[in-house]
Amino acid sequence: MAVERIKVTVGVAGGIAAYKAVEVVRQLQDAGFDPHVVMTQAAERFVQPLTFAAITGHKVISSLWSEDAGASGGEVSGIEHIDEAQTTAALIVVPATADVLAKFAHGIADDFLTTMYLATTAPVIVAPAMNVNMWQHPATQANLLALQKRGVRIVEPGSGYLACGMVGGGRLAEENTIVAAVADALSNTTASEKTDELAGETVLVTAGGTREPIDPVRYIGNRSSGKMGYALAAKARCRGARVVLISAPASLPLPEGCELIPVTTSEEMLSAVMDHLAEASIVIMAAAVSDYRMAETATQKLKRNGPRTLQLEPTTDILQEIVKRRDPRTLVIGFAAETEDVLANGGAKLARKGVDALVLNDVSGTETGFDSDRNAGWFLTPESTTELVLSSKTEMAARILDEAKRLRSAHGRPVS
């Protein structure tokens, strides 16, 4: 018996990268989805609708006005953009031009795609592509931030040679990256996975690696991708919690329904955490926070001129500040990345920080940890050590939340 494919809608906007949407549609089919295509009139200047119709086997929609509407003796079966919005599992826009992003951000609905965006409650994933100056323009960045705060997932563009002849950011992400973002969005919103076990809870999650500026173009950073923190945010939201995600720079789509607070430096992360600490019933500090910053940041780019010594100073220990200022009922879980004497160093850090639990990772290898989609480690409390076996970061996030629920119950702070 044939397996029913999940319907998704691919919105194609009018940019030179529109031709890459053809490959995205094909890969979505390979991944088990049933893509339907909506095009703007500008997109038809780059790719003919017939191309998508031939690949998908479905009519391509490019106008709000149905050819059948008002025909002699004909009946209108429904309002097409509403029908499409209500029957799709996800809306993916490839490429998402500056124009479409602006319309989405400001609620302008003047064609089928923008009207459908306002009418759908399904996850929305946008893959921007445009000239580097358009990408970096404050208006575009403000529109992206507004969309992220509303739960739209952004598949960040890459850098490279652009069709306009310039080199820089704004190049459409790789097709497989876009398809992976769609699969991730839908895996995090599968109805069978949703529960209300964290309903009424506010979970504050930090993610990504902070960056401490050296000069206007360089920074002290680390290899954190943010994947573990984003997985935790997605799983907590899936279990019914309100989720506040405080994220250092990360090229990841925002988990649906999470509130994003973007930060860059450790001080910005500290400020954001303190601003929301009183609201949180569970705090999970998955971010890789810089231990040091420049004692004095250079105002101009440092020139290459022989050896150079950088004067560093410690950053504020955010975990210790949380423990000092939290409500006693708030559960605090820290993260520790170690490369040697892992359990001994982790146990010492647990005692030193005063947190309720510590997720301990061995990052000395290449199979888990930074940049990887898989992870393993231990969940440490003052009373117990629980192994977190090798698994995907999504699966490990579920295990961590299971342990958090058990820990709250054991300490008389049951999850509501």
- C-beta neighbour count of 415 within 10 angstroms: 21
Residue pair 234/218 in contact (Cβ under 8 Å)? The answer is no
What single DSSP character describes residue 19?
Answer: G
Residue pair 346/378 in contact (Cβ under 8 Å)? The answer is yes
State the Cα–Cα distance between residues 123 and 147, nearest whole angstrom: 12
Amino acid at 402: D
Q: Annotated catalytic residue: which of 164, 183, 294, 298?
A: 164
Amino acid at 67: E
Residue pair 375/365 in contact (Cβ under 8 Å)? The answer is no
Pairing of strands 312-314, 219-220: unpaired
258 is catalytic: no
State the Cα–Cα distance between residues 117 and 292, nearest whole angstrom: 43
Q: Which CA distances in Å does 67 have to 76, 98, 108, 375?
A: 10, 29, 24, 52
Amino acid at 86: Q
State the Cα–Cα distance between residues 218 and 214, nearest whole angstrom: 5
What per-residue string of b and e applies to 167-185 under the rule 16 or more CB within 10 Å gives b?
ebbbbbbebebbbbbbbbb
Q: Give the catalytic positions in this structure.
A: 164
